[in-house]
């Protein structure tokens, strides 16, 4: 069990490097393919390959014992390979789909082992550590996209992708400092262990999966150069870090998870719907900055209520990831349908209404699950 301070420090080193490299490498991928002529609908559809590949992988690894380090290292090698493919192959729709399928495997290969180890250690302060967990993403997104934008604009995308591949390969070294940890799961049992939270997890997947696609594609209407995109990605995360740490720390003391879910959930609904009305660069900046703020404040509590209620974190995290990806498929499909038959901006209204279900469902479920 990873229950020592030194183990957590090693794990956080891996996490910080992963987040930094991810923010650096992925910031300009969709701009790269848009510049090559890939259609808006295909950009959205590529996210379906990410989620479907993860669902298939979770099913394939059912009942197989493996070491967490092997899973994480395998994911890192694959994502490094995906950036080498981007560097040396022509940017076609098919390459984008392949890239997406490869990177989607890391929803499981990297994130499930990491989540299990991380939240086992931080169980006593799940929201505080969860907020720190999500805030590091925001911190990385404040700086790394600027660097990737500078490299992409001044040296070219190929140089950017080769650098990303090299950085990921270096990440395999600290992973093996974590120590051996074997794990085996039965998918049926992992889904059973999420009882009481399955609908909530699914709704969370619908919203954040759809937003993952929409927020990658919509900015391409406003930002056409690498530095413009890098600056946009950096500036829209500025307000989310400090607020999430303060509020989640208060939650760990008071354990009023539901109160914060109501407040930040309402903000997330309103800012998501408001984002659909943003038609200029300035209004998009403002709307997405506000949405990102509430998203960063909201997300730690969706994890914290599960950690509070469930003892077997191993199986819960696997089941949670499977259900999240099923929800992501629906959310991305909704964005794709809006893109094809309405406008991609209209999908933000659907997603805002979808996440409105989350606090409503909690009120119904409080009769059957324990949430504070």
- Domain containing 76 — which CATH number? 1.20.1250.20
Between CA 160 and CA 137 the distance in angstroms is 20
Q: How many CB atoms lie within 10 A of CB 344?
A: 22
Contact between residue 23 and residue 140 where contact means Cβ atoms under 8 Å apart:
yes
Q: How many CB atoms lie within 10 A of CB 86?
A: 25
Greater pLDDT, 246 or 88: 88
Q: Which DSSP string corresponds to 349-364?
A: HHHHHHHHHHHHHHHH
Statement: residue 310 has pLDDT above 80: no
**What pLDDT score does 1 carry?**
42
**What pLDDT score does 245 carry?**
66
Residue 372 lies in a domain: no
Q: Which DSSP string corresponds to 49-83?
A: HHHHHHHHHHHHTTT--EEHHHHHHHHHHHHHHHH
Q: 3-state DSSP call for residue 182?
A: strand
Residue 329's contacts (CB-CB under 8 Å, 6 or more residues apart) are 48, 51, 52, 55, 209
**What pLDDT score does 71 carry?**
93
CB-based burial label for 343 (10 Å; 0-12, 13-18, 19+)? exposed
Range 83-91 average pLDDT: 96
Place of tokens 């997406």: 100
**What pLDDT score does 54 carry?**
96
**CA–centroid distance for 332 within its chain:** 14
Between CA 276 and CA 349 the distance in angstroms is 6
What tokens were used for 68? 């967490």
Between CA 154 and CA 150 the distance in angstroms is 6
Q: 3-state DSSP call for residue 43?
A: helix
Start-to-end CA distance of the chain, whole Å, equals 27
Lowest model confidence (mean pLDDT) among 75-89, 140-154, 271-285: 140-154
Q: 3-state DSSP call for residue 367?
A: coil
Interval 324-371: pLDDT, tens: 999 999 999 999 999 999 999 999 999 999 999 998 888 887 766 666
Range 240-265 average pLDDT: 71
Q: How many CB atoms lie within 10 A of CB 359?
A: 19
Residue 209's contacts (CB-CB under 8 Å, 6 or more residues apart) are 47, 51, 324, 325, 327, 328, 329, 330, 331, 332
Statement: residue 305 has pLDDT above 90: no
Range 224-249 average pLDDT: 79
Residue 169 lies in a domain: yes
pTM of the model as a whole: 0.92
Between CA 69 and CA 177 the distance in angstroms is 9
Statement: residue 173 has pLDDT above 70: yes
Range 54-60 average pLDDT: 96
Q: How far is CA 71 from CA 14, 52, 137, 259, in A?
A: 14, 18, 21, 37
Lowest model confidence (mean pLDDT) among 74-83, 114-123, 211-220: 114-123
Lowest model confidence (mean pLDDT) among 68-77, 185-194, 244-253, 326-335: 244-253
Between CA 138 and CA 292 the distance in angstroms is 9
Q: Which DSSP string corresponds to 325-357?
A: HHHHHHHHHHHHHHHHHS-GGGHHHHHHHHHHH
**What pLDDT score does 343 carry?**
95
Residue 371 lies in a domain: no
Contact between residue 372 and residue 256 where contact means Cβ atoms under 8 Å apart:
yes
Say how many domains are in the chain. Answer: 1
Residue 175 lies in a domain: yes
Statement: residue 77 has pLDDT above 90: yes
Statement: residue 2 has pLDDT above 80: no
Between CA 75 and CA 60 the distance in angstroms is 15
Residue 326 lies in a domain: yes
Contact between residue 167 and residue 25 where contact means Cβ atoms under 8 Å apart:
yes
**What pLDDT score does 372 carry?**
60
Greater pLDDT, 309 or 289: 289
Lowest model confidence (mean pLDDT) among 9-23, 80-94, 102-116, 316-330: 9-23
Statement: residue 226 has pLDDT above 80: yes
**What pLDDT score does 356 carry?**
95
Cα dihedral sign for 13, 15, 17, 20? negative
**What pLDDT score does 244 carry?**
65
**What pLDDT score does 212 carry?**
96
Which structural domain, as residue segments, surrounds residue 134? 5-365
Q: Phi, psi (5° rounding) for residue 307?
A: -60, -40
Statement: residue 73 has pLDDT above 70: yes
Residue 370 lies in a domain: no
Q: What is the mean pLDDT of the chain?
A: 87
């Amino acid at each position: 069990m990873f229950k020592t301070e030194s183990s957590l420090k090693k794990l956080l080193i891996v996490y910080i490097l992963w987040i930094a490299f991810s923010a650096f490498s992925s910031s300009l991928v969709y701009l790269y393919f848009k510049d090559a002529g890939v259609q808006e609908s295909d950009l959205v559809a590529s996210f379906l390959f990410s989620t479907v590949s993860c669902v298939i992988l979770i099913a394939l690894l059912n009942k197989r014992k493996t070491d967490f380090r092997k899973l994480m290292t395998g994911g890192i090698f694959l994502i490094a390979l995906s950036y080498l493919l981007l560097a040396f192959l022509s940017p076609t729709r098919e390459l984008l789909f392949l890239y997406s399928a490869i990177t989607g495997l890391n929803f499981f290969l990297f994130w499930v082992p990491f989540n299990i180890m991380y939240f086992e250690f931080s169980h006593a302060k799940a929201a505080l550590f969860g907020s720190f967990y999500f805030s590091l993403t925001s911190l990385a997104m404040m700086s790394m996209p600027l660097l990737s934008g500078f490299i992409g604009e001044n040296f070219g995308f190929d140089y950017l992708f080769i650098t990303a591949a090299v950085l990921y390969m270096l990440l395999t070294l600290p992973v093996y400092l974590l120590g051996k940890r074997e794990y085996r799961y039965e998918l049926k049992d992992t889904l059973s262990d999420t009882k009481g939270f399955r609908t909530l997890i699914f709704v969370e997947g619908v919203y954040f999966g759809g937003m993952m696609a929409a927020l990658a594609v919509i900015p391409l209407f406003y930002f056409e150069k690498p530095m413009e995109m890098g600056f946009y990605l950096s500036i829209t995360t500025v307000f989310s870090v400090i607020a999430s740490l303060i509020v989640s720390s208060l939650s760990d003391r008071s354990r009023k998870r539901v109160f914060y879910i109501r407040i930040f959930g309402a903000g997330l609904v309103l800012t998501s719907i408001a984002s659909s009305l943003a038609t200029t660069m300035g209004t998009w900046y403002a709307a997405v900055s506000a949405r990102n703020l509430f998203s960063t404040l909201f997300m730690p509590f969706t994890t914290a209520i599960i950690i509070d209620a469930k003892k077997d974190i191993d199986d819960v995290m696997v089941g949670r990831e499977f259900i999240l990806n099923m929800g992501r498929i629906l959310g991305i499909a909704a964005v794709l349908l809006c893109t094809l038959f309405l406008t991609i901006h209209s999908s933000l209204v659907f997603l805002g209404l979808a996440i409105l279900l989350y606090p409503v469902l909690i009120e119904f479920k409080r009769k059957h699950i324990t949430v504070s």
